Amino acid sequence: MTTGAMRSRAVELLALAGVTIDGPEPWDIRVRDGRLFARVLAEGSLGLGESYMDGWWECERLDAFFHRVLAAELDTRVEPWKDALRVLRARLLNLQRPGRAFEIARRHYDIGNDLFARMLDARMIYSCGYWQDATTLDAAQEAKLDLVCRKLGLAPGMRVLDIGCGWGGTAKFAAERYGVSVVGATVSAEQARHARTLCAGLDVEILLEDYRALRGTFDRVLSIGMFEHVGVKNYATFMRAVRARLADDGLFLLHTIGANRSTRKNDPWTERYIFPNSMLPSARQIAAAVEGVFVLEDWHGFGPDYDRTLMAWHANVERAWPDLPARYDERFRRMWRYFLLSSAGGFRARQNQLWQLVLSPHGVPGGYRAPR
């Protein structure tokens, strides 16, 4: 196919989403390198993301561009042959086995607390905020943490396990506000160091540990923004591991991004540059893993709140950029911008969801009343 024919094909596809090449709207793209069309048609989302990082195209509002492209499902129309190989690889290999559990930390969460401290809220909560009554990022994250604690019915003296505790903000909040004892687990050394300092003096213990190696019994278990790294081959293992740590009359809250369709693969650009060995679970996959292990008490969706959260993170990064260390170069800035804004567009298009599930071992006697 000639360059002209490939450009014509791109124009035709983008028109379905209301996007014009070199058009006047903020979601239109401006092409800086004519090789873009061949690269995207050959490599799909990987080529699109890498070419943006390389400066081959620009867009004033990447979030609006991706909202339109994903709402029109253009991603399903450019599926290179490599995609089939990724599906096969995921089927044959357990990419999230214990020996690889710490890779996500080395390649993402450990890149620098300085970046995350400037991007996130004051508590450094790296998951979706709850914007129902909030007007700021700090308020939205506090509302989310309080919602989690209320859903779990936390009370003084309870022992709580936080799987994927991040930088310790959730553990600190629960210990201070609800008087509980918390054990937090993360696979990130940088997160663990920060969390131990943050929670010093509180009844909080931070472990550098994979969820499969945890021990002890807890009144409540929570996991916020970690299940996306578990992998479909391990969903049932994860649920059984949680059940083994939870008291018979306990509750487990799972907070996770979700996909509309079941898959065994991650987006190739996201896999390479942001979240290696990760994938988004579907409702069907979660339900299959829960069956026979837990009773589903509540399933709460508020995916559009992640759009607002991501846009707030993006604004924070852009504002802080002049003060960040030189190791975050311009290509990294473009990569990070692409990550945050393409994700925001995905949630705005309702291609991605955010779910909170409350699960119990045997069912709450008399029924569970879910706070909102």
357 C-beta neighbours (distance < 10 Å), count: 24
Phi, psi of 207 (to 5 degrees): -110, 140
Q: What is the pLDDT of residues 5-30, one digit of tens each?
A: 888 988 999 999 999 999 999 999 99
**Residue 170 contacts by C-beta under 8 Å, 6 or more apart in sequence?**
123, 125, 145, 148, 162, 184, 222, 224
Tokens, residue 220:
């409540």
Beta bridge partners of 357: 254, 299
- For the domain bounded by 103-360, which CATH number is listed? 3.40.50.150
Name the nearest CA neighbour of 369 among 298, 286, 307, 292: 298
DSSP codes joined into one string, 164-194: T-TTSHHHHHHHHHH--EEEEEES-HHHHHH
Q: Which of 84, 86, 70 has its CA nearest to residue 13?
A: 70
Question: What are the domain boundaries of the chain?
Answer: 3-80, 103-360
Each residue's pLDDT tens digit, 126-178: 999 999 999 999 999 999 999 999 999 999 999 999 999 999 999 999 999 99
Closest-CA residue to 308 (of 176, 158, 122, 121): 121
For the range 335-339, what are the long-range contacts, defined as Cβ-Cβ under 8 Å and sequence gap of 24 or more? 335/49, 335/53, 335/273, 337/62, 338/49, 338/52, 338/53, 338/62, 339/270, 339/273, 339/274
Q: What is the pTM of this model?
A: 0.91
pLDDT tens, per residue, the chain with 372 residues: 788 888 898 899 999 999 999 999 999 999 999 999 999 888 889 999 999 999 999 999 999 999 999 999 987 776 544 444 344 344 444 555 565 555 655 566 667 789 999 999 999 999 999 999 999 999 999 999 999 999 999 999 999 999 999 999 999 999 999 999 999 999 999 999 999 999 999 999 999 999 999 999 999 999 999 999 999 999 999 999 999 999 999 999 999 999 999 988 788 999 999 998 889 999 999 999 999 999 999 999 999 999 999 999 999 999 999 999 999 999 999 999 999 999 999 999 999 999 999 999 999 999 999 999
**Residue 174: CB partners within 8 Å, gap ≥ 6?**
145, 149, 154, 160, 162, 180, 182
Please, what is the angle between helix 36-43 and helix 3-15, to 10°? 70
Tokens of 315: 């604004």
Q: Is 79 buried (19+), middle (13-18) or exposed (0-12) by CB count in 10 A?
A: exposed
Structure tokens, 257: 């991004």
